[in-house]
Amino acid sequence: MGLFDFLKKKSSPPPAAASGNASGSWAPGGPVDKKVVGPGKVAGDKRAQTYDRMEAIQQLADMKSPDAAAALLKRFTFVIDPSITDSEEKEVAFQGIIAAGKECVPAVVEFCLKAEQLTWPIKILHELLDDAEYEEELIDLLARFDTEYARNVEPKVQMIQALEEVVSEEVREAVAPFLEDVNETVRFHAVAATFAQNNEESLFALVKLIEAEESVRVKNKVAEGLLFRGWVIPPDLRAATSKALRDTGGFAVGPDGKIVRGSSRDWG
């Protein structure tokens, strides 16, 4: 045994506990390929030696199977130092999942339903699916969230941010309920995603949001969007909107019903 072999202190993989899925096809809650169990445990262990974990990740990536992809997803559940190592490991895991192909999409979707962070899973879906499939999957996932209190809003926010890059009537309708989310950050990003659709049918919902909103940041986001697009606020909503914008100090409703910069006192 050489000195390097001694120092790297290789971990022996645990024995496979369950009968494997010989075909390598993945199903939620189904049997797992026995070859995946050992490296899968190491790849998803934050406390494992860096060398051992990367070796396990590479083994799984080389398998190019749905079971291996499901195991690789566990690497996205934690962060390690230094950040460059963290990024390298996640990139190898990402490429390994992509190599497994569209058959691993069900595993990615299931992971999204439980994950604390969705940056990498969303990136994987975007890479594996065509535009229409990607949009449909994101909308379906967003529909699993409600607008009530949540301990961790990051998955919801990241889903809405991803939909900001997709333009369709279906996306506009899917995001609309989150303009009334109890969380201010969610509402802020829902406003951004709504404006990204560039559909004036959202005007009424956005104006009503200004009237009910307590967050100046959200009010400013709505006002900036209305100013940029030049959408005209209906006459019967202008007085309430002007009143709601007073605490922003930077926006008002002009005589023509469009948002302008300045105080409402400047416009009578």
User: Where would I find the H helices in the chain?
Assistant: 3-8, 34-43, 50-63, 66-72, 83-100, 105-114, 119-128, 131-142, 154-163, 169-175, 184-196, 203-212, 216-229, 235-245
Report the amino acid identity of residue 141.
L
- Quick check: is 121 in a domain? no
Q: What angle do CA 92, 97, 99 make, to 5 degrees?
A: 95
For residues 173 and 205, state if they share a domain.
no
In this model, does residue 231 exceed pLDDT 90?
A: yes
pLDDT, tens digit, for every residue of 101-150? 999 999 999 999 999 999 999 999 999 999 999 999 999 999 999 999 99
Indicate the residue among 178, 198, 218 that finishes a domain. Answer: 198
Q: What angle do CA 128, 131, 133 make, to 5 degrees?
A: 70
For residues 145 and 212, state if they share a domain.
no
DSSP letters, 122-186, are HHHHHHHS-HHHHHHHHHHHHTT--SS--S--HHHHHHHHHHTT--SHHHHHHHGGGGG-SSHHH
- Quick check: is 33 in a domain? yes
- Quick check: is 2 in a domain? no
Query: Which residues touch 202 (CB under 8 Å, ≥6 apart)?
Result: 172, 176, 194, 195
- Quick check: is 52 in a domain? yes
How far apart CA 91 and CA 120 sit, in angstroms, is: 9
Give the pLDDT of residue 262: 73
Indicate the residue among 150, 172, 198 that finishes a domain. Answer: 198
- Quick check: is 124 in a domain? no
Domains in the chain: how many in total?
Answer: 3
How far apart CA 168 and CA 3 sit, in angstroms, is: 60
pTM of the model: 0.84
pLDDT, tens digit, for every residue of 16-54? 333 334 334 444 555 567 899 999 999 999 999 999 999
Neighbours of 137 (CB within 10 A): 19
Q: Is the peptide bond preceding residue 28 cis, with omega within 30 degrees of 0?
A: no
Q: How would residue 266 be classed by pLDDT, with cut points 50, 70 and 90?
A: low
Residue range of the domain that includes 183: 130-198
For residues 219 and 264, state if they share a domain.
yes
- Quick check: is 24 in a domain? no
Give the pLDDT of residue 249: 73
Give the pLDDT of residue 26: 45
pLDDT, tens digit, for every residue of 138-184? 999 999 999 999 999 999 999 999 999 999 999 999 999 999 999 99
**φ, ψ for residue 15 (rounded to 5)?**
-70, 150
Locus of tokens 């490429």: 95
- Quick check: is 238 in a domain? yes
Give the pLDDT of residue 9: 41
For residues 139 and 98, state if they share a domain.
no
Q: How would residue 11 be classed by pLDDT, with cut points 50, 70 and 90?
A: very low
Give the pLDDT of residue 6: 38
Which pair of structure tokens corresponds to residue 27?
């199903």
Which pair of structure tokens corresponds to residue 252?
């008002």
- Quick check: is 213 in a domain? yes
